[in-house]
Every structure is written in structure tokens, then in C-alpha cells.
Structure 1
Amino acid sequence: MPCTRVQQHDAAILDDEIAGIMRESTTRLFDKFRPGLVESLAPEINALIRSFIFTCSTFIHKPTPGMKLQNVKFCQSAFRTRTLFAYYILTIAMPYMWKRFPSILTTQRTRNYETDTSRTRWQISDFVAYFKRLEVVISACQFLNLLAFLKHGRFRSFEERLLGMGLKSTNEQSCMISYEPITRQQLWKTFTDLGSTFLPLFVFLYRRAASKLKQRHKQALTMSSDCCLLCGIPPQTPYITSCNHVYCYYCLYLSASNDANFACVACGKHFQSSKRLITG
């Protein structure tokens, strides 16, 4: 039964993530060693992890963990001994050598500079140029294979196309993975990111608006001396406090009697005294 492009692509992504988790767990074993050791052994560690996954899955005619989760597997024709050996060389051994060649060439070039052999320098430079051209050709082939995969839905990698290792679905169930938790996690992450980005701005705008409203309210209270600051009507028997704000005698007396710590409504200060305001 044919499988979808999404299943094939997601199977490769899941295999890469599983290998990444194993790589992180392995590198923790070298935390107490000298600095730089893990970086220098990164190609070997990655090759060993890939070899372990290959040996426990494809080599014994079983799907990889990512394929198992996506309900896909290699076709039976892909499990020939020669095909498996070539697949291991193309997907694990050659990428390892590809990552190791730069450091080997750098070391060799340093030795040649010390021995000052111009012929050997030319040979290494020529090999580096050939190596870069080969890298461009392989990248172009991988890109063309991607276009063919998107169109026809077969052979997700250039190596699988060379060896004819196609994928098929194991049953009618499209996928074993439930994407609802992933969707909820993505929505929550997006919401928290937006909140952490815009919440400080909202708090700043709110405080700024509240400060302006409070200032305007104080200005409105202090600008008019024709109304009592407590009852809001023209004061009956007006009294003015030591902070120069006008109240009704009854309102001021009642408020000061009920609250020993009564402060001026307009300025918030505890006035010391008040006196009768005589208006001409």
C-alpha cells in the first residue's frame, strides 16, 4: 500500500530527532573530560548512533523508530544484502568521511607547510577543489530528488532513489501519532510568546494612562474653588485648609471627626488647620 509524502518525510524527521536525543545523552558522558573532546569526536559519535539505529532496525529487516511511528517500512526488495550494505555506505559511512575530510586535509596541509613541499601542496589544493565540486553536484542531485519526491511521492532521499529503496504503508491506519497535544503545545507556546512580548507594553500604557487620569482629576479638583471637594456643590459655610483647598464646613468637620488621619482629597496632604473663607 502506498504511503503519503507527509508520512515519509515525518519518519525521516523523527529518526533525526531520536538520533539527536541519543547524541545529547551520549555527550553528557564526556562532561567531565577535557574541553573540546566532544566536539572533536562529534562525527564518530554521530556515526556510531546512526550505525546502532541501522543495526537494530533496517539491517534486521525492521522499520526504524520513525517509520514505526508513521506506519511505514521499506519494500521487501530493499532488504537484499548488497542493497543494505550500499545503503549503509551511502547514508552513514560516506557522511562520516565527508565530515572528517576537512580536518584531515587541514592537518595534512599544516604538515606540508612545515616540510615545504610545493608539489604536495598543489595536490592537496587540487583535491580540495575537486571535493568542493563534488559537494555541489551532490547538493544539486539532492535538490532534484526533492522536486521529484514532491511530484511523485516516492524515494524521499537521493540515496534511496539510487538503490530503489521505496517505502510502503504497513496498514490502513494513516498514523499512530496524535497531533492534538502538539497542536495545543504550539498554541500555548505562541500565546506565551505573545504575552511576554506585549504584556510589558500593555502595563506601561496602562500605568501611563492611569497617571494622566489621576493628574487630570487632581487638576480638576484644584482648579475650581467654587465647589466643595467632598460633595461637589457650592460650599455652604466654606472653609479653606492650610493647603488652600475649599470644603463645606459640615463635610470637612464630619470627615475629620470620623477619620483622625483624614487627608486633603485634592493633594493628599494632612493639613494642619483650616479657617473660614470669606468671599467678597
Structure 2
Amino acid sequence: MSISYIPRVTQLDAAQLDKQLEELFKQQLFYATKYLEPGILQPLLPELELLIRTWIFKYSVYDKKSTFGQQMLSLGYKQDNFSRSKLWWYFGYTVVLKYIRERAIYSFTSNTRIQNIVHKMETFQLIGDILNFLRFIQSGKYPVLIDFILGLELFADKLTREDLTDFSWTRELLWHNFIELIGTAISILNIFGLRRKLSNVLKYVWWSDNVRTSIKSSSAIMTTNTLCACCDSHPVLPYIMGCSHVFCYYCLMANKTADPDFACPKCYYNGKEINKFVMV
């Protein structure tokens, strides 16, 4: 008799065990080939990882309709809802798609267009993972995005955590996965661009009386009391970009490199030309 309710922590553990198993296979492969000349296996890494994932898929999901991580926790997919077409879609998402992405990164490193496409694919997938995780916390079903897309439900022959009473540990594991997803999402954001957009919004807020308009100001003047518009210290190698404020060279160039639309944080003037400040 199968169990209808499966704890969320058990489902997350199964997914985590699958990742660890794949990493274990990779470590064993690298250990077995560590005496080979460096650079021999590097061009073939995507193909080697493809073989590892295909082998794992063949002897787990394809043969037994459950991953190795799920088998360790007595879980499995409901076979009456796991058709052959869904099986191949599962293989394409979990194995083929990863291979295409890794091969594109290895073979087309200098191709900006392909790298941008790969980056956008990873971004969309990450957003989908985050939204699916939030939905999973609420519903307790479909811990992995592909499970939700294909409608693959889990069942349990027995509850392997019958003595699980420490709900704080369960809650900690859930939050750990959530924070990991949020941290990954933040890492792909353009923090400088986001800060600029927020600054542009704040300059129109009625209580921001000290903010001036973004029109071009008068020529910059530097005195002994002049401070860098970014770091509020005396400018080192003073530079300007068209407004009345002076910047450190490194402050201005770092912000312009990170965000080409960087505007002066004092007057919101977006200067395109950067020039060295010359005392007249």
C-alpha cells in the first residue's frame, strides 16, 4: 500500500542525493584519469558528463521509473502517469539540454551571440526553478521543475522518516534551499543597473527635496572642499563626465564599466563623455 503524503524534506533529500551521486561519478572519473596528460580530457568533458548522466538515467528512471535518490528513500514516480513520451521529454530536459549548454560554452566561448543565448536560457530556467520551489513549499508536490511540467507525481512504499519529529530541522533544510536559490538569482542581477533605476525613481519622490533634476549643470569647479560624488572623499585623479561634480578616476570608470548608463548620484546627469578634470 502506497503512502499518499510524502514530507517535503524527503522529496528535497531525494533531489539532493541525485546531485551528489552525479558528482560522485565525476570524482571517480577524474580520479581514474588523474595520471593522464593535462588537457587530454578537457575538450571531451561535455561528452563524458553526457555519458554519465545517460548511464544514470538508463538504470534509474528508464528501468525503474525512479531516480537513485528516490530509491534510497523508498520513493518513485507513479508509473500509470509516466508514459514513454514523458520519459523522453524527461531525458531531454535532464540530460540533453545540459549537454547542449555545456558544449556551447566549451565550443563557442568567443561567440557572444551564442553565449548570450545560453545565458538567457539559464536565466529562464533559474526563474522557473525559483517559482516552482515557492509553489512546492505551498503545495508539497513536484519538487523539481520537470516533474511539474510533465505532471509526474511521487509515491512512497513506506515512510523512511517515521520518527521524524524535529520540525525545526525540516524547516532549516527548506530555508537552506530557498536561500541558495535566492543567492544564485542575485548573482545574475546587474546590481549597478538596478541601483540606477531605483535612483531614477527616487528622484521623483516628493520627500526627496535634496535631489536636483537631471539636466546638465554648470561647469565643474574643484576646491579644497570638493569631494568625489561617489565615495565622498577627496578626488584621486579627478575626472568629470559633463555635470558640475568631480569624481575619482577609479570610481567613475568602475561604475561606467559595470553600467554604461551610470548617472551622477548627485544630479542624475548621464554623461557619455569622460574627461580628465583640468584646473583653469
Q: TM-score range by the shorter chain?
A: 0.5 to 0.7
Instruction: Go from structure 1 to structure 2 and tell me whether the alpha carbon gap of 1:161 and 1:103 turns closer, same or farther (over 3 Å shift).
Output: same
Query: Partners of 2:117 and 2:24 in 1: how far apart?
Result: 35
One-letter identity of the residue aligned with 2:58: T
- Post-superposition Cα deviations, 1:80-132, rounded to whole Å, max 9, x if no partner, equal 110000000000110111111122212xx4xxxxxxxxxxxxxx544433332
Aligned 8 A contact 1:71 1:175 in 2: no
Give the structure-1-normalised TM-score.
0.52
> What is the root-mean-square deviation in Å for CA atoms of aligned residues?
2.5
Aligned 8 A contact 1:59 1:84 in 2: yes
Q: Which moved more, 1:5-14 or 1:70-79?
A: 70-79
After superposition, where does 1:1-280 map in structure 2 within 5 Å? 1-106=4-109, 109=110, 124-171=111-158, 173-175=159-161
> Counting helix residues as a fraction of each chain, which structure ranks higher?
1
Give identity over the alignment, percent. 24
Aligned 8 A contact 1:69 1:176 in 2: no
Tell me by how many angstroms 1:36 deviates. 2.6
Instruction: Go from structure 1 to structure 2 and tell me whether the alpha carbon gap of 1:27 and 1:135 turns closer, same or farther (over 3 Å shift).
Output: same
Tell me by how many angstroms 1:133 deviates. 2.5
- Post-superposition Cα deviations, 1:237-273, rounded to whole Å, max 9, x if no partner, equal xxxxxxxxxxxxxxxxxxxxxxxxxxxxxxxxxxxxx
- DSSP 3-state at the match of 2:108: helix
- Post-superposition Cα deviations, 1:29-85, rounded to whole Å, max 9, x if no partner, equal 222221033443332222212211111111123432211121111112443110000
- DSSP 3-state at the match of 2:23: helix
Instruction: Go from structure 1 to structure 2 and tell me whether the alpha carbon gap of 1:39 and 1:176 turns closer, same or farther (over 3 Å shift).
Output: farther
- Post-superposition Cα deviations, 1:125-148, rounded to whole Å, max 9, x if no partner, equal 444333323322221111101111
One-letter identity of the residue aligned with 1:130: I
Instruction: Go from structure 1 to structure 2 and tell me whether the alpha carbon gap of 1:62 and 1:140 turns closer, same or farther (over 3 Å shift).
Output: closer
One-letter identity of the residue aligned with 2:64: H
Aligned 8 A contact 2:142 2:152 in 1: yes
Instruction: Go from structure 1 to structure 2 and tell me whether the alpha carbon gap of 1:141 and 1:91 turns closer, same or farther (over 3 Å shift).
Output: same
- For structure 2, the residue ranges without an aligned partner over 5 or more in a row are 165-280
Query: Partners of 1:15 and 1:147 in 2: how far apart?
Result: 21
Query: Partners of 2:126 and 2:77 in 1: how far apart?
Result: 24
Give the structure-2-normalised TM-score.
0.52
One-letter identity of the residue aligned with 1:7: T
